[in-house]
Amino acid sequence: MHLNKLPSGRRGVLAAAALCGLFSTPLFGYEDLSFSSTSGLVRFEAETGTLSGATVVTDQANYTGTGAVFIDEVGESVSWTGYVMEPGLYRVTLGCKSPYGTEGQNKHASVSINGRQFDVELPNTPYFTSVYLGEVWMEDGNDIVISDNWTWFYIDWIQFVAIDTDANDNDRGYTRKQKLLTGLLANQAKGLTVPSGQQEEADAAYIIEKTGKAPAIICEDFVYYGSGSLDYGGNPGQLTENVIKHWEEGYIVTLCWHWISPSGIPNTTGKEWWRCFYSEHSEFDVAAAMADPTSSDYQLLVADIDRIAVELKKLADANVPVLWRPLHEAEGNPAAWGGAWFWWGDGGSEPFKQLWHLMYDRLENYHGLKNLIWVYTCTDQMQTSWYPGDEYVDIIGIDQYPSDRTSILQSTWDNLNTTFGSTGKPFALTEFGGVPNLEDMLSAGIKWLYFASWYGETNGPESVADADLVAAYTSRALISADELDQNLDGVTNGVCWNQDLPLQFTLQPALGLNTGESVEYLDLFEDPYEHDLSNGNLLEMDGGSVVVGAGFEFMESEDLVGWSNITPQFYQFGEDGRVLFVVPFNETEPRFYRLTIYQEPQ
């Protein structure tokens, strides 16, 4: 089954998709007068191209170079033919605008790059801004044509940023991994929303059917890729390829691995091969295997990890970052089960940590995989003796199946902070029976990095009443797939790079309550998700009100902690209640930006 109901094809956010601007990848230099180059980009100025009917203009604000090109008639174009660039994959953006469009009726341009066609919707603004087209392969002799689709628009430039695709270093996967993790952390720091996740495609499709919304994260399982499955006829099908499709459709992806033991499989009634990730069914001795690296069982472990590396490498080659959650719930629940319920924890904490370190070293160092975000999942036991170590973990997760599905898990959150708070790692709700009560959790200061519901009639979305499922997925506290790159609290969702050009974006304002001596910034007020500031409307808040334009403060930050004022080059209040900003060029450092509207209390 293939998910196909995501409203837009945007890639993850918060992830990668919520991040503005360009990769800051070192580039090579060119001296050809037809286009300019600085560190990180190659730009063709529109006025230097071959014009067919189009005209060069100099009466528009903030163009670069010596002018811009105006296309106002059918058949007009600007083009560059046969230009040589170093072969490779490039990220393409177009500097453009169309102040003549109307709401819902924006102008469109056609862009052809070596025969590949792009239909570009042009921003209806008075200021030139950048529109991302996609990734294209460039090589010796490149043809670029920008022509009319719906006329009356301006083109300032088209630019290409090289992407390092060195397969040995997996730089592309690494870059997106870093941006995904940065975006998740930034969203968690704001404490207003939590990205939603769902285990298994079928259950994600069920959510879409019932709510019209899709989970932001799709969770899959590598259960059938190991030798313990393949030797007995297990068939993983096209799971890895489907994971790539999920990412391309706009989902974040996470993978667990119910690792069927590589040996010690009775395959008898009640102990069939497909049950042998459980310690009660498998006879595999992980402690003995890890104690003797020359043993056949140790070598079988390595061979299975190598099989998984083949699949993870496919994801890296496709530029897909992965929330990688292997060897989960290792310590089990001794009180309820008498020990660990999975074989990888059955030998105790030391063999488990040795296995984790072996897998980490094999995937990261031997195979050179750099697209993995490592998620360590504990149980309610939360024993630090099982923790693999800060250098081997990016996220600490916990799996919870409370009898009261409305529980905010306060004691679980408190225990996590007591046990693992000193690590500085973020906490995720990596499995949950049903859908968590996010609004009450956030109100109590419980801010998960993300959550993932389990699957099936008992613990999946089917176990939740239809009305409750709809309420959960339409809650403003839950980030669904179509909301991954939206902004709800006045702070950009991720760090933004604006390399050698102004950066333009829109923000819904947060509120600052001016107390006279200081300003208290309030992202959470009576309803932090409704900012009705269109056309000078009043916004009610605790008996006070604010008028658009009466006063605002625009700030930037490197870490969402320290904020400093910044003067925008241009700003405009829109009829939709959002505010358009163009910020000064910042050469190297990433920034978060924040808009605060002042309100004087009555």
Nearest to 438 by CA among 93, 241, 187, 221: 187
Whether residue 120 contacts residue 111, with contact meaning beta carbons closer than 8 Å, is answered with yes
Whether residue 554 contacts residue 568, with contact meaning beta carbons closer than 8 Å, is answered with yes
Q: Write the single-letter amino acid at 100.
A: Y
- Give the Å distances, CA to CA, from 337 to 271, 276, 346, 378: 17, 16, 11, 15
Please give the Cα distance from 173 to 169 (Å, whole number).
Answer: 9
Please give the Cα distance from 596 to 512 (Å, whole number).
Answer: 6
Whether residue 177 contacts residue 59, with contact meaning beta carbons closer than 8 Å, is answered with no
Count CB neighbours of 223 within 10 A. 18
H or E, element range at 438: helix 438-443
Nearest to 116 by CA among 150, 98, 139: 139
Whether residue 434 contacts residue 405, with contact meaning beta carbons closer than 8 Å, is answered with yes
Please give the Cα distance from 152 to 70 (Å, whole number).
Answer: 7
Helical spans, DSSP H, in 268-398: 286-291, 296-317, 334-337, 349-360
Q: How many helices (H) and strands (E) does the chain have?
A: 12, 34
Please return the burial class of 470, using the count of CB atoms within 10 Å of its CB with bins 0-12, 13-18 and 19+: middle
Q: Is 329 a catalytic residue?
A: yes
- Give the Å distances, CA to CA, from 144 to 62, 116, 121, 138: 23, 9, 18, 11
Catalytic residue selected from 47, 201, 331, 431: 431
Nearest to 76 by CA among 133, 143, 142, 153: 153
Please give the Cα distance from 593 to 568 (Å, whole number).
Answer: 11
Tokens 């890895």, residue located: 240
DSSP 319: T
Please give the angle made by the CA atoms of 432, 434 and 437, to the nearest 5 degrees: 85
Tokens 């601007």, residue located: 21
Whether residue 574 contacts residue 566, with contact meaning beta carbons closer than 8 Å, is answered with no
Please give the Cα distance from 390 to 11 (Å, whole number).
Answer: 29
Contacts for 306 with CB less than 8 Å, ≥ 6 apart: 362, 367
Please give the Cα distance from 155 to 109 (Å, whole number).
Answer: 9
Catalytic residue selected from 47, 249, 329, 331: 329
Please return the burial class of 252, using the count of CB atoms within 10 Å of its CB with bins 0-12, 13-18 and 19+: buried
Q: Output the six-digit token pair for 495.
A: 């760090």
Please give the Cα distance from 393 to 376 (Å, whole number).
Answer: 6
Residue 510: left if φ>0, alpha if ψ -120 to 50, beta else—which one?
beta
Q: Is 431 a catalytic residue?
A: yes
Tell me which residues are annotated as active site: 329, 431
